[in-house]
């Protein structure tokens, strides 16, 4: 049995004695994926259990199986899982306040310490902590933590994951300390000349006597310079809390925004009798936000939401939280032109929000997908009455210092929209909870039951009403409710499979291949191509922008295959093995689909052109192939084997799209957002040239690939941290002898790793692949696949070798240090 020995260190310094600690508790857990009677007891024998470190999502390990719900990814996320950890505490920790913090546990977590139940938390997306001081042994003998999780079948409309999928911490504090999520930092005034920063700090006194302490706040600039210091004395009654309220002025602030996400650090120091008893660090951004019927304003400047909805999984990693995985996802989104994220439909991880702060992405932080009325039988509705207030308030307490967050969402497509009598009352109560904890940000919700929630007083209970999939109704809503700020909270829902093109172009519901064409016109009945949203947003400039469904593909909800959204009658397995989303502008592996570039052409200004489809159409010689160009240039010219097919002007030369969606009568739409040509196929190459002000500024070329010849590897970062947590993403391409991507290649690639890391997962973005994410091999899909490397805690080289029968191998090196 491996034990962890914990010491309560005393650090001496010029500022006094600091003996509070936050200890990462992710290493050395025991796991068992079955019922285990008596496993909460310290005497239980767990020697046969699996050893692992967190974060851990047991469901992503698979296997995929038709007996599991494709709506939730076709993976075994439900059942019972047990985690146990052994450790010792030394005598000098006695008298401290020891808490156990879980950043997320999926779900219905019960926690025991040395056989005593210390608490239960059902909602898997929100963090929680328990004071375990009284339940520990401080004599060097064994302490045992036991955690039981019981995710239920039919509890989620997508893949939720399972297990201790976020970090766990052991926190050792003095009796006087800053409480959990204990600082609340706001910026009542921010201009170019001055920022007024207000800091409310909750200080806990676990002593049996009244104490007087000094609370000091230091503000450190992005360059590391202390720019302000304030302090005050407060008195705290025995076994009580008190709030310190301090403000300061920071002159000439470096404001946080989407282009320059400047972050300041706040250091809170608690001193008793000239002895430091606690310190607490926060990162903040100095910025102002405002909403009017004219739009959203950041630091006084109108900003439109170029937004995406994102689920919390990271493809092959499942729901397990790695900061680099979230950072990479958000960097890819930002390169598409995204400036805003909706955390659909639940509280995100701490790491995710930190990455948004650092990258300058605006966030709508969302609490719930369901209230009291069910969407699936075992959803959050089971816990709503007892837990909604606690979960919502805790989400806001945890997240309210993040400058990236610009609104709170209390729900998504809530079934109570249809309850004209009581739905608005629930919305009103949730809105009140938000305002109690943070009155500085507006509230919102995503409404899809137009016009119901606007007519029955539900939309009026939030500050900003979200509109799901009703672009043609924007003008009516603005005219009817002129004082209600509006935005597209979910838009488009276009579906596609990367690199797949079905000819002729036609509007279909499903395809026998179980893939969806990437000509970007296919979607379910409520959905429409992105061009439609662009059009109605431009016609209604007071709409604040949009959040597309979705930025990335995600596990589960394989619309248009398998089932119908919001149905409560069970499984979505009619089109097995389809088991993951087609909605993303980027696939599950993080590879951009064509639609990525359509959004990029509309949301960015750096000259770009993108050409589709591929140019391998053997057997189609002489037949017309529709060729599309997505560009932000003024004009584009297409060449086939060097011969011009014509120069077209964006905005003037239109592309007719087949459409068919709810509440919109026309069956075609003439788009000014994409250029197109029909050209007879002949092998060779196609090239598009983009012009601005009559000058060539960008071009792209696609060649007809010959047979697969080699494996080409590229890595997102050549140097990663040797911390046992950092990741490197390796893109694998099947190429011909000239280096052209083979767009139809599906070769099986085998991986091996040597050095200071390991192969963590593999993927290829194929929505119907049943290959394991945790194997050492993967088939290419549309010519590509992915390998994810994880560092060890030892510095050194990590070498990945990729082999496939009949192909020249690939090798790539990453440094871990």
Q: Which residues are catalytic?
A: 413, 490
Q: Are 184 and 98 in contact (CB under 8 A)?
A: no
CA–CA gap between residue 575 and residue 559 (Å, rounded): 10
CA–CA gap between residue 7 and residue 272 (Å, rounded): 23
Q: What is the token pair recorded at 148?
A: 């039981």
Q: What is the token pair recorded at 806?
A: 């009949």
CA–CA gap between residue 73 and residue 307 (Å, rounded): 25
**Number of neighbouring beta carbons within 10 Å of residue 75:** 28
b (16+ CB within 10 A) / e for 304-326: bbbbbbbbbbbbbbbbbbbbbbb
**What does each C-alpha distance from 73 to 156, 565, 785 come to in angstroms?**
10, 14, 19
Q: Is 74 exposed, middle or buried (0-12, 13-18, 19+ CB in 10 A)?
A: buried
The closest of 99, 91, 105 to 31, measured between CA atoms, is 105
Q: Are 451 and 472 in contact (CB under 8 A)?
A: no
DSSP at 151: P
CA–CA gap between residue 220 and residue 207 (Å, rounded): 32
The closest of 388, 371, 376, 395 to 446, measured between CA atoms, is 371
Q: Are 440 and 200 in contact (CB under 8 A)?
A: no
**Number of neighbouring beta carbons within 10 Å of residue 497:** 25
CA–CA gap between residue 402 and residue 734 (Å, rounded): 42
CA–CA gap between residue 379 and residue 679 (Å, rounded): 51
Q: What is the token pair recorded at 628?
A: 């599309």
CA–CA gap between residue 252 and residue 459 (Å, rounded): 39
What pairs with residue 395 in β-bridges? none
DSSP for 401-451 reads T-TTEEEEEEEES-GGGG-TTTHHHHHHHHHHHHHHH-TTS-EEEEE-STT
What pairs with residue 215 in β-bridges? 232, 270
CA–CA gap between residue 588 and residue 407 (Å, rounded): 27
Q: Is 219 exposed, middle or buried (0-12, 13-18, 19+ CB in 10 A)?
A: buried
Q: Are 583 and 493 in contact (CB under 8 A)?
A: yes
Task: Quote helix, strand, coil % in the chain, to nearest 5.
Answer: 15, 40, 45
Q: Are 407 and 441 in contact (CB under 8 A)?
A: yes
Q: Is the peptide bond before 63 cis (omega within 30 degrees of 0)?
A: yes
CA count, 13 A, side-chain hemisphere, 405:
30
**Number of neighbouring beta carbons within 10 Å of residue 574:** 11
CA–CA gap between residue 208 and residue 303 (Å, rounded): 52
What CA dihedral angle connects 699, 588, 514 and 374, to 10 degrees? -130
Residue 413: left if φ>0, alpha if ψ -120 to 50, beta else—which one?
Answer: left
Q: What is the token pair recorded at 197?
A: 């920063």
Q: List phi, psi (to 5°) of 383.
A: -105, -5
């Amino acid at each position: 049995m491996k034990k962890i020995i914990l010491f309560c260190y005393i650090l001496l310094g010029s500022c006094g004695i600091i003996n509070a600690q936050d200890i990462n508790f992710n290493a050395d857990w025991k796991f068992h994926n079955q019922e285990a009677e008596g496993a909460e007891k310290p005497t239980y024998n767990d020697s046969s259990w699996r050893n692992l470190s967190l974060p851990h999502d047991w469901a992503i390990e698979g296997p995929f199986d038709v007996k599991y719900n494709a709506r939730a990814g076709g993976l075994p996320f439900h059942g019972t899982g047990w985690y146990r950890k052994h450790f010792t505490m030394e005598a000098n920790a006695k008298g401290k306040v020891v808490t156990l913090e879980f950043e997320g546990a999926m779900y219905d977590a019960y926690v025991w310490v040395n056989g005593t139940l210390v608490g239960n938390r059902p909602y898997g997306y929100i963090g929680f902590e328990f004071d375990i001081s009284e339940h520990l042994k401080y004599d060097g003998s064994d302490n045992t933590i036991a955690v039981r999780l019981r995710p239920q079948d039919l509890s989620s409309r997508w893949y939720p994951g399972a297990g201790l999928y976020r970090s766990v911490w052991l926190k050792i504090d003095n009796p006087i300390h800053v409480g959990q999520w204990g600082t609340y930092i706001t910026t009542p005034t921010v201009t170019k000349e001055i920022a007024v920063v207000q800091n409310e700090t909750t200080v806990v006194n676990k002593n049996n006597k009244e104490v007087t302490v000094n609370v000091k706040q230091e503000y450190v600039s992005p360059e590391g310079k202390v720019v302000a210091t304030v302090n005050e004395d407060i008195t705290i009654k025995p076994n009580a809390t008190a709030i310190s309220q301090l403000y300061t002025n920071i002159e000439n602030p470096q404001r946080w925004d989407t282009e320059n996400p400047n972050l300041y650090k706040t250091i809170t120091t608690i001193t008793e009798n000239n002895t430091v008893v606690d310190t607490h660090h926060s990162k903040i951004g100095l910025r102002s936000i405002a909403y009017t019927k004219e739009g959203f304003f950041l630091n006084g400047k109108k900003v439109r939401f170029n937004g995406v909805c994102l689920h919390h999984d990271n493809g092959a990693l499942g729901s397990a939280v790695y900061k680099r995985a979230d950072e990479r996802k958000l960097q890819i989104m930002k390169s598409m032109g995204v400036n805003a994220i909706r955390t659909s439909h639940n509280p995100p991880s701490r790491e995710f929000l930190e990455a948004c702060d650092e990258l300058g992405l605006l966030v709508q932080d969302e609490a719930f997908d369901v209230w009291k009325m069910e969407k699936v039988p075992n959803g959050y509705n089971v816990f709503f009455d007892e837990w909604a207030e606690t979960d919502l308030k805790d989400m806001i307490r945890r997240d309210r210092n993040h400058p990236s967050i610009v609104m709170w969402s209390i729900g998504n497509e809530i079934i109570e929209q249809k309850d004209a009598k009581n739905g608005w009352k629930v919305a009103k109560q949730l809105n009140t909870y938000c305002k109690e904890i943070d009155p500085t940000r507006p509230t919102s919700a995503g409404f899809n039951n137009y016009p119901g929630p606007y007519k029955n007083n539900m939309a009026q209970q939030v500050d900003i009403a979200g509109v799901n999939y009703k672009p043609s109704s924007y003008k009516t809503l603005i005219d009817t409710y002129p004082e209600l700020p509006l935005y597209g909270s979910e838009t488009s829902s276009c579906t596609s499979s990367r690199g797949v093109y079905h000819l002729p172009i036609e509007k279909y519901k499903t395809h026998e291949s179980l893939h969806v064409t990437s000509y970007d016109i296919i979607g379910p009945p409520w959905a429409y191509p992105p061009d439609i949203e662009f059009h109605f947003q431009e016609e209604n400039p007071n709409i604040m922008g949009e959040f597309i469904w979705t930025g990335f593909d995600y596990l589960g909800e394989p619309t248009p295959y398998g089932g119908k959204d919001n149905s409560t009658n069970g499984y979505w397995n009619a089109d097995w093995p389809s088991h993951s989303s087609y909605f993303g502008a980027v696939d599950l592996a993080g590879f951009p689909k064509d639609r990525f570039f359509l959004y990029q052409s509309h949301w960015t200004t750096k000259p770009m052109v993108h050409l589709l489809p591929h140019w391998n159409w053997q057997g189609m010689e002489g037949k017309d192939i529709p060729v599309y160009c997505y560009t932000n240039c003024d004009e584009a010219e297409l060449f086939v084997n060097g011969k011009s097919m014509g120069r077209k002007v964006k905005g003037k030369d239109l592309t007719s799209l087949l459409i068919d969606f709810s509440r919109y009568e026309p069956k075609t739409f003439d788009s000014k957002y994409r250029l197109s040509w029909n050209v007879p196929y002949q092998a060779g190459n196609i090239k598009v040239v983009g012009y601005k002000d009559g000058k060539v500024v960008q071009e792209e070329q696609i060649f007809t690939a010959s047979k697969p010849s080699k494996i080409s590897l590229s890595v997102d970062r050549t140097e990663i941290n040797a911390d046992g947590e950092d990741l490197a993403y390796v893109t694998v391409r099947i190429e011909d002898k000239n280096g052209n991507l083979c767009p139809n290649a599906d070769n099986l690639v085998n991986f091996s790793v040597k050095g200071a890391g390991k192969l963590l997962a593999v993927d290829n973005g194929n929505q119907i692949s049943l290959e394991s994410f945790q194997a050492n091999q993967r088939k290419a899909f549309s010519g590509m696949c992915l390998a994810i490397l994880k560092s060890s805690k030892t510095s050194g080289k990590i070498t990945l070798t990729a082999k496939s029968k009949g192909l020249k191998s690939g090798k790539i090196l990453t440094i871990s240090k």
